[in-house]
Chains A and B, each alone.
Chain A
């Protein structure tokens, strides 16, 4: 770090996905001016994806919570905390400890998580503390624990690069873990023998590097991997030595595999796959030793997710493909600190430091560790409610008080309508939050302004068990406070001050590290042990370099790979193969809901967009909530590309714009999971998903909904751009469709409604916009454009037309930010672009803001490689996450040219 008076560079960690990239932030005064990848961080070696490289654009006080609120009224911290503790105590006294609950987040830092877990489980005496990691990693965790004996990812990122075969299953790595994807891609270029198999119902951008793609039927993964196990056995490709020496349960698992997926034909039919392609995959997997199977939410978010994970792990154990370089079942984490949260016991079925309720002596050990001279920690006897159960319990009235930190369950949980009812009915809802506008705040009695990524100090653990420091870059805005501080202040007021007397996160980390090593030796030794990080002190903590746990006296520099000796932290020391009975999704498609719904993340957004939504360039890739539909389904339902449509499920609806996509299987649709009520009307994916969960992990079945599809009939569509300080009144929000897209210095609204408007000038007045200064119309075509100028500044711009008629919006955006409009610009205002300026189309490369039309033109001009495109337009040269799309465009143009040639032979 180079500190200077006004400018310095600070190393920290990216707050988005589970890759956990190191970031170097350039800070000038109270502003982060630039971020870049940390070349020394082992997760990314200098790379950053588009989200990460826009981090500094998401900062600033605009839209931040800066004051505590009690019952909607601003107040000071003392009042807020006094009220909070008083109300909590009343509820505890009247309804018992177990009437109090917390719902945390993989966005919290380990230290925040630790004190929250300690307060709720150790001192408030309630087991009901769960986290949104439940929606993400719970199945993977449960499966690891069942088979390997610990919630421990055996591999690391280098194993991906060293593998001979990488299987991506239920993972669109290219979009969701872009930096890891880039590493894999580079590795494949360096090692032409490396093969990559992508298993996914959708053709995703990750297929760009696939040697083999299996577009399987959604939810049939367990069958696929049972089939693999049976095939390995049948073709004598089981590593019998490894199985005999290091595992148990092989026979039972194999029997079940044979019974359910005994031959290629059966599996191919059940998974809806081509038998030869299937067998190719089996052959490749079975014949290579160095195989990494990388899996993510496509596997986890299922009512049989744990079994699916175990079906994968079974194959690795049977082949001895674990504990070796370039081998292992690798669950890739969705959130930045999902693993850190679990290390401290953030799940309802955990106590702390990888100790669970059922672990002999664990309750007593943790109680003793947390008790102070005068305070006895009183831990609950049994596990608490997992996320969905927790909200069920709130709905039943069993839980009366809920403290939500850094997450947005009103959006992210399935059957969100029910979640919202529960929140409404809950007598005390406390929300710790950074942002002033989220769906959750409507349900909060007490709102506590928390610090955000650029302000916090602490640690996170990424997908390869690597603990990294997040460091504060900026002072907190207003009255915002760190989560650990808020929790400790509440604890003090509750009378637990002695156990929560931390002055700095390093002290919390130190205690956490001590607990990991506390009575942790010999028989039943816990794998999670970072006792060698005890006693770092403040300075050592500040200097802490990224390190992989376990970090012990024997492994003071951390542990890159687990289970290299074939010894597992199970009672027998052996890994378990589990018999897996494949089960189909519990949400059934039916005549009423005939389409299979898949949900997921998009490349440039994160969760409910409270942060990424603040960076306008990240909104350009997919500006609106959308629905990917197979062309034949689109035809069946009478919907064309870019038309608005509604998906309906038994408990909710979703409105979005249809993208007709060959990448979809027929009968299946895909929607993004990011939109909330803050950004759009009825575009929450959670509304369509039923609250059905995996019986082992409690993880909801978010990937396999059942929906119906219908066009959203509208009389008109509009695009309205408003200066940031122009607010749209309620009448606009009552329209059949609205979605809000933040831009630089202005907001874009897409609007549509079934009720015809005859007088658009009157309508703009009804929306309480400043009077239209200029307008144009073609009533016959239903086209209208208008703009309002006040004191020479553009205030709003309206276009009545489908959004495909929009010009590239960069020019208009610049007009909103111009101090005055010159005459030439004003004359072009309604056109929305310079005279004759070529429309660059939707943005493909977010880093350099290169549009699709510009790229297609360049391809037609002869730039038929991504390198050539990069040289000409700079697209794809920064983060590289648009490279797959660039390749697709090149390929499409090639096919297009080919087709044209074929159709006009006289030109050939």
Chain B
């Protein structure tokens, strides 16, 4: 890497204007050693917005202006060129060109932050119209326009995004069924008990939940080629006016792949977020580090820090994987989880259950240290558990107060356990890459703690 002199990089081009891109730009904009020129190319018609808030927007809980991050003027004020509604067609690495539908740009450094798209089930009929994702403002306006009277909607995917979409539609008066491949909801975050509490709550609100439901095909009964039903592997046919797919994401790695960058599931980067071409970096959902690809916001924020350091700093930061805690909010239901969801034989389990209020906590301990936690309902202790886990704190002394809270535990044991203020992550997440920029910088503290 070049030494950190001012204007070390003359022209930085960033492909993509999602939340990761936006955060990187923010970090670079004020840096004294920022690249001299920064150009951002976004495919959507508006500048980066807070994708996490799409769910409350769909549910009608907030106004669209609430999603805004920075307007175009801000980019201009900071000497950043912003091209919106513009697709990048290809890269010419030899010439260091980015070729878009409208122009060709020459870069000194290039950042690919192209994000991801909804994964579609590989079954017949998945290209029918009326089968949609839930990732963009445009998606939200389409979903918001659904007429409840025209029949039920089906959400495929009982993960967080699927449930948020389903709840959002339900609140608009639409009859919604959620199809989940696995045996319980949120199987990447919750254990069976918490998932059951969640399912009970959602059921009671009127959502229809189908577990172990595998889609075998989509059917149309009209000439426009619109979806009219989902057929399951067990033969059940579920009529619907619309299908929302939220069963995972596919990294948008094609641009890099076509340019000959090393690519596996996504564009492969090293611990400086550099691809196989030293002038090209990849960030966020389109990149792959070791075997990891990304959907949660917290590690991506850490990637942004590392990359910003390389583009405008001392170039010493390195990215490495760290445990991630997810604090989830599904329409008023709070969840907090980190670590493994299912216990192995070496785990000791601590559990708190209130069947009446639905409060649930489950800790997985290994060798007297917290390794995983699932909290449902009352999640106030989540960050404290996460901190203990990150610090590998031996909790033997305060184990008996652990399920009740920090004060109880410190009354019991060594005052050093959990004595400092909470510094662990409170990162808000959707299963896509997204977060609120207004939140404190939790990832910083996580890096330090780890």
Contact = CB atoms under 8 A, between A and B. Distances in A.
Contacts, number: 67
B405 A835 contact: yes
A192 interface: no
Interface in A798-834: 801, 805, 823, 826-828, 830-831, 833
A839 B409 CA distance: 12
B351 A776 contact: yes
A759 interface: no
A889 interface: no
A805 B400 CA distance: 8
Given A778-B348, A780-B348, A827-B359, A836 B403 contact: no
Contacts of A823: 357
A801 B400 contact: yes
Contacts of B355: 773-774
Q: Report, as a range, how many residues of chain B touch the other chain.
A: 20 to 34
Nearest to A779: B349
Contact of B350 (A777, A801, A805, A835): A777
Interface in B392-448: 399-408, 411
B400 A781 contact: yes
Contacts of A833: 408
B332 interface: no
B400 A774 contact: no
Contacts of A775: 352-353
A678 interface: no
B404 A783 contact: no
B345 interface: no
B411 A780 contact: no
A241 interface: no
A241 B354 CA distance: 84
A774 B349 contact: no
B405 A831 contact: yes
A774 B353 CA distance: 5
B357 A826 contact: yes
B378 interface: yes
A780 B395 CA distance: 14
Contact of B407 (A776, A789, A830, A836): A836
B357 A776 contact: no
B314 to A, nearest CB: 42
Given A827-B378, A838-B411, A839-B411, A778 B403 contact: yes
Nearest to A773: B356
B408 A776 contact: no
B365 interface: yes
A779 B400 CA distance: 11
A778 B350 contact: yes
A777 B407 CA distance: 19
A835 B407 contact: yes
A797 to B, nearest CB: 13
A836 B348 contact: no
Interface of B, secondary structure class, is mixed
Contacts of A773: 354-356
Interface of A, secondary structure class, is mixed
B407 A774 contact: no
Nearest to A805: B400
Interface string B353-372: 11111010100010000000
Interface string A683-701: 0000000000000000000
Contact of A789 (B353, B356, B408, B411): B356
B405 A778 contact: no
Interface string A106-117: 000000000000
Contacts of A778: 348-351, 399-400, 402-403
A896 B89 CA distance: 78
A265 B189 CA distance: 80
Interface in B328-386: 348-357, 359, 361, 365, 378
Contacts of B411: 836, 838-839
Nearest to B405: A835
Contacts of B361: 776
Nearest to A780: B348
B353 A776 contact: yes
Nearest to B363: A778
A838 B405 CA distance: 13
Contacts of B351: 776-778
A830 B348 contact: no
Nearest to A837: B407
A831 B408 contact: yes
A838 B356 CA distance: 28
A212 B129 CA distance: 100
Contacts of B400: 778, 781, 783, 801, 805
Contacts of B402: 778
Nearest to B404: A831
A446 B351 CA distance: 53
A833 B411 CA distance: 12
A774 B356 contact: yes
Contacts of A837: 407
A588 B322 CA distance: 70
A828 B401 CA distance: 12
B80 to A, nearest CB: 48
A781 B359 contact: no
Contacts of A789: 356
B5 to A, nearest CB: 51
Given A780-B348, A780-B365, A801-B400, A774 B405 contact: no
A13 B399 CA distance: 52
A116 B136 CA distance: 97
A773 B399 CA distance: 23
B116 to A, nearest CB: 39
A830 B357 contact: no
A775 B352 CA distance: 6
B85 to A, nearest CB: 49
Contacts of B353: 774-776
Given A773-B354, A830-B403, A835-B405, A779 B348 contact: yes
Contacts of B349: 778-780
Contacts of A827: 354, 357, 359, 378
A839 B408 CA distance: 9
Contact of B354 (A774, A801, A839): A774
Interface in B282-300: none
Contacts of A774: 352-357, 359
A835 B361 CA distance: 17
Contact of A776 (B352, B378, B399): B352
Q: Which of B349, B353, B399, B402 has most A Cβ within 10 Å?
A: B353
Contacts of B401: 831
A433 B381 CA distance: 55
A830 B406 CA distance: 14
A839 B404 CA distance: 14
Contacts of A779: 348-349
A836 B11 CA distance: 56
A777 B406 CA distance: 17
B365 A826 contact: no
A801 B412 CA distance: 14
A833 B357 CA distance: 19
Nearest to A786: B353
Nearest to A821: B356
A780 B348 CA distance: 6
A793 to B, nearest CB: 12
Contacts of B404: 828, 830-831
- 9 tightest A-B contacts by CB? A836-B407, A831-B404, A774-B354, A780-B348, A776-B352, A778-B350, A776-B403, A773-B356, A777-B351
Given A778-B399, A780-B349, 4 more contacts: A776-B350, A776-B403, A836-B407, A837-B407
19 contacts: A774-B359, A776-B351, A776-B352, A778-B350, A778-B403, A780-B349, A780-B365, A789-B356, A801-B400, A805-B400, A826-B357, A827-B357, A831-B405, A831-B408, A835-B407, A835-B408, A836-B406, A836-B411, A839-B411
Interface of A: 773-781, 783, 789, 801, 805, 823, 826-828, 830-831, 833, 835-839
Interface of B: 348-357, 359, 361, 365, 378, 399-408, 411
